[in-house]
Amino acid sequence: MSEQTGRILVVDDEPGMREGCRRILSSQGHQVTTADSGEEALSLFSKDAFDLALLDLKMPGISGMDLLVRLREIDSDVVYIMVTAYATLETAVEATRSGAYDYVAKPFTPDELTAVVDKALAFRWLRLEAAQAREEAGRNLLLVATQQSRTRTIIQSMADGVMVTNRERKLVLYNPALLRLLGIKGQMPDLNEIPSPEIFPSDLLALMDVAYGGGETTMMSRELQVARSAEATAMAATGLASGPPNLAATIATIRDEAGESLGLVTVIRDITEMKTLQQRMSDFVSMVAHELRSPLGAIAQYLDVILAGVTAGNPEKERQILARCRERTGALSQLVRDLLDFSRLQHLGRVERTLAPLRLDEILQKTIEFAAQPAAARNITIAFDAAEDLPFVDADRDEMSRLFANLVDNAIKYNRDGGSVRVAARRTDGYVAVEVSDTGVGIPQGAIERLGEAFYRVRTSATLQITGTGLGLSICKQIIQAHHGHLETESEEGKGSTFRVLLPYMPSPR
Amino acid sequence: MSQGKRVLMVDDDVDFSDAVRMTLEGAGHEVLVAHSADEAMKLVQGRKIDIAILDMMMEEPDAGAMVAHNLRKQPELRNIPVILVTSVTEKTGYRVGTNTAEAREWLGVDAWIDKPVEPAELLRKIEALTHE
């Protein structure tokens, strides 16, 4: 008894045989189609799928043997059974040779037919399963091969160094980045050997030892001290190369499903950049702390003078002291503002700028209006001269205001009483040039290139009284850079300075 | 109060040095103010000084220590007491260590004080250091 039912085609020119077969096989649950000729069978085969075909050997038109050949051309996986009235060994052999699975001799009992059909169908199901299994296996193998090669490619091209060691501490895998980071040249580490202390840094091997003995610990990270090679030391001494990279190792224990350790995967990462950033950050914090402490120290010291009664009975002296304190608090506020701007500008990629076509003469006009009062307080005159044909620049309005306000404020701050400031804007080759010139203290030659360094302030007897944060020009430089411009500085000590901002202008809208 | 002393005050912050000057003058001392190491060395040329108050961090992070060292090289100033004024945060950038006794001896610093300076304490220190 077959468990599965099949789709069966019965081809016979005798209606009695067709009907008989149909009845017997249908009663077994099979789905039976009949054809009275080879031609009809061919046409049915081209439309429908079958599991089994019973072919009468002797038919008018296309003979059973020819039909077998032609049907197998259409579908060789169908199981074919030949039906013959003249069963001889020869016909059986010939049919089998031509691809039939079996034959049945007329006349046959229903049981005989069912037995042959069941056996043939069982074969059909087996064949289908085998084909399916083959296909799946092929797919899986391809997948495995692709994944292996993909994983290998990924590990080979990683910037981080990777090495895998097994339970016996032997090297199973490593990538080129590992050799580069650890500075391993010449002698390559041997796979299937315990990493040699002659090749690998002792620091790393010691860390791996800890991980191997680590019990439950699954992951540990440590910075590595890598002794540099003699060659690297020589390079560093000549200044041609920096010191060895700062490395960090992360070691993770690989475990199977039962939690047993299978080995270690060690990842080596270059953290030089991170360390440099940390250092820069710490320097910056020190500088900020110093810049905050100086004015606070001065203010506190002045207040102590008043509190200690040193100035008692001298209100004019006290007023002078308080005025200085007030000025220093103003400078502190400015420092906080500058720090916020400075930190905002440090993240150039993330700053939201609203670029729009701007006429710089409008911005300069406003800047000068704002500066008029502090300038007048020290008898400083401001002249403004803007060319008629000033082209547009694509810029952020707020940043442009900040930039020129800083420059004009400096021109007043570092000027002499009764001096002058000149602001001029004109078109040059590809740029709008804005010059802010003063008649002030000027900048010593050696100091010009250091201008714009965060917290750098020119310290001369002439600048001692002037409060500043040392961030203003640094902010200017960053704004100019963000707008693809340049800053040029000319100065003569004691005579004055000229700051020239060059910003690329937009193509004429006309 | 003993008689007024001549104090060298070196600090690049004009307000801080001005405030210290007022405090010391109020106590009867004479104060010579300089705002840089160079200015300080010029100011003391051929002058007698009783005590020096030096800001550690000026044009260089350890400028005060250098002034102390250079003052000691002048025969007439070899023995003057020196007070070094520091900010706690200025520990970076010193070319000389300041934590060891050897370093302090090399510098010849007699007292260290932090900004801001309590006026009464500063006066007491000056008194104590110039009394010998």
Which residues of chain B make contact with A300, given a CB cutoff of 8 A?
115-116
What is the reported pLDDT for A2?
43
Residue B97, pLDDT above cutoff 70? no
Is the fold of A277-346 the same as that of A351-504?
no
Place of tokens 């961090």: B57
CB contact under 8 A, B19 and A289: no
Distance from C-alpha of B96 to C-alpha of B117, rounded to nearest angstrom: 23
Q: What is the pLDDT of residues A263-275, one digit of tens each?
A: 899 999 988 888 8
What is the reported pLDDT for B92?
46
Confidence of residue B89 (pLDDT cuts 50, 70, 90): very low
When the candidates are 1.10.287.130, 3.90.420.10, 1.20.1250.20, 1.10.260.40, the CATH number that belongs to A277-346 is 1.10.287.130
CB nearest B57 (choices: A290, A305, A465)? A290
| Distances, alpha carbon A480 to alpha carbons A139, A347, A374, A434, in Å | 59, 15, 25, 12
What is the reported pLDDT for A242?
55
CB contact under 8 A, B119 and A305: yes
CB nearest B15 (choices: A293, A304, A324)? A324
What is the reported pLDDT for A240?
44
Mean pLDDT is lowest, of A25-39, A78-92, A245-259, A298-312, for A78-92
What is the reported pLDDT for A41?
92
Which residues of chain A make contact with B57, given a CB cutoff of 8 A?
290
Chain A: residue whose CA lies nearest to B17: A298
What is the reported pLDDT for A153?
86
Furthest CA-CA distance within chain B? 39
Q: What is the pLDDT of residues A475-495, one digit of tens each?
A: 899 899 889 999 999 999 889
When the candidates are 3.30.360.10, 2.60.40.420, 3.30.450.20, 3.40.50.2300, the CATH number that belongs to A7-132 is 3.40.50.2300
What is the reported pLDDT for A24?
92
Residue A246, pLDDT above cutoff 70? yes
Distance from C-alpha of A292 to C-alpha of A301, rounded to nearest angstrom: 14
CB nearest A310 (choices: B15, B26, B115)? B26
Say whether residue A258 is in contact with chain B using an 8 A CB cutoff: no
| Distances, alpha carbon B21 to alpha carbons A154, A196, A323, B116, B118, in Å | 70, 69, 17, 14, 13
What is the reported pLDDT for B102?
66
CB contact under 8 A, B12 and A459: yes
CATH architecture group of domain B8-117: 3-Layer(aba) Sandwich (3.40)
Alpha carbon A37 to its chain centroid, in Å, reads 68
* A245: preceding bond cis by omega (within 30 degrees): no
More confident of the two residues B56 and A397:
A397
Chain B: residue whose CA lies nearest to A297: B116
Residue B103, pLDDT above cutoff 70? no
What number is the average pLDDT over the span A145-169?
A: 87
Mean pLDDT is lowest, of A102-106, A194-198, A492-496, for A102-106
Q: Which of residues 267-286 of A touch B (CB under 8 A)?
A: 283, 286
Confidence of residue A202 (pLDDT cuts 50, 70, 90): confident
When scoring A283, A304, A329, A455 by the number of chain B Cβ atoms within 10 A, the one with the most, hence best to mutate, is: A304
Say whether residue B34 is in contact with chain A using an 8 A CB cutoff: no
Mean pLDDT is lowest, of A141-145, A198-202, A328-332, A346-350, for A346-350
The one-letter amino acid at B55: D
Sign of CA pseudo-dihedral A395, A396, A401, A404: negative
Residue A231, pLDDT above cutoff 60? no
Residue A235, pLDDT above cutoff 70? no
CB nearest B59 (choices: A300, A310, A459)? A459
CB contact under 8 A, A296 and B13: no
**Contact yes or no for B17/B11 (Cβ under 8 A):** yes
Residue A236, pLDDT above cutoff 80? no
What number is the average pLDDT over the span A131-135?
A: 87
Say whether residue A316 is in contact with chain B using an 8 A CB cutoff: no
- Min distance B123 CA to chain A CA atoms (Å): 12
Which residues of chain A make contact with B117, given a CB cutoff of 8 A?
301, 304
Residue A460, pLDDT above cutoff 80? no
Nearest to A103 by CA among A75, A65, A66: A65
Domain segments of chain A as ranges:
7-132, 158-270, 277-346, 351-504
When scoring B10, B14, B15, B55 by the number of chain A Cβ atoms within 10 A, the one with the most, hence best to mutate, is: B15
Question: What CATH topology corresponds to A158-270?
Answer: Beta-Lactamase (3.30.450)
Output the pTM of the full model: 0.57
Q: Which of residues 123-182 of A touch B (CB under 8 A)?
A: none
Mean pLDDT in chain B? 82
CB nearest A308 (choices: B25, B115, B119)? B119
Domain A351-504 has CATH 3.40.710.10: no
Q: Which of residues 82-121 of B touch A (CB under 8 A)?
A: 87, 89-90, 92, 115-120
Which residues of chain A make contact with B22, given a CB cutoff of 8 A?
305, 310-311, 317, 321
What number is the average pLDDT over the span B96-123?
A: 74
Confidence of residue A254 (pLDDT cuts 50, 70, 90): confident
Distance from C-alpha of B71 to C-alpha of B109, rounded to nearest angstrom: 11
Residue B104, pLDDT above cutoff 70? no
Say whether residue B58 is in contact with chain A using an 8 A CB cutoff: yes
Distance from C-alpha of A146 to C-alpha of A418, rounded to nearest angstrom: 80
What number is the average pLDDT over the span B58-63?
A: 75
**Contact yes or no for A52/A41 (Cβ under 8 A):** no
Which residues of chain B make contact with A302, given a CB cutoff of 8 A?
15, 18-19
CB contact under 8 A, A294 and B13: yes
CB contact under 8 A, A464 and B19: no
Please compute, for residue A51, the number of CA atoms within 13 A of its CA located in the half-sphere on the CB side. Answer: 20
Say whether residue A296 is in contact with chain B using an 8 A CB cutoff: yes
Quick count: other Cβ atoms within 10 Å of Cβ A39? 12
Helices (H), ranges, A51-109: 64-74, 89-97
Which residues does residue A81 pair with via DSSP β-bridges, in sequence order? A54, A102
What number is the average pLDDT over the span B55-62?
A: 77
- Min distance A458 CA to chain B CA atoms (Å): 9
Taking only Cα atoms into account, the Rg of chain A, rounded to an integer number of angstroms, comes to 46
Q: What is the DSSP string of chain B?
A: -----EEEEE-S-HHHHHHHHHHHHHTT-EEEEESSHHHHHHHTTT---SEEEEES-SSSTTHHHHHHHHHHTSGGGTT--EEEEE-GGGGTT-SS--SSHHHHHHHT--EEEESSPPHHHHHHHHHHHH--
What number is the average pLDDT over the span A324-345?
A: 86
Say whether residue B128 is in contact with chain A using an 8 A CB cutoff: no
When scoring B17, B20, B22 by the number of chain A Cβ atoms within 10 A, the one with the most, hence best to mutate, is: B22
What is the reported pLDDT for A217?
66
Complex confidence, ipTM: 0.85
The CA-to-CA distance between both ends of chain B, in Å, stands at 15
Residue B1, pLDDT above cutoff 60? no
Mean pLDDT in chain A? 85
CB contact under 8 A, A464 and B35: yes
Q: What is the pLDDT of residues A405-443, one digit of tens each?
A: 999 999 999 999 999 999 999 999 889 999 999 999 888
- Min distance A286 CA to chain B CA atoms (Å): 7
Residue A207, pLDDT above cutoff 70? yes
Determine what percent of chain A falls in helix, strand and coil, rounding each to the nearest 5: 45, 20, 30
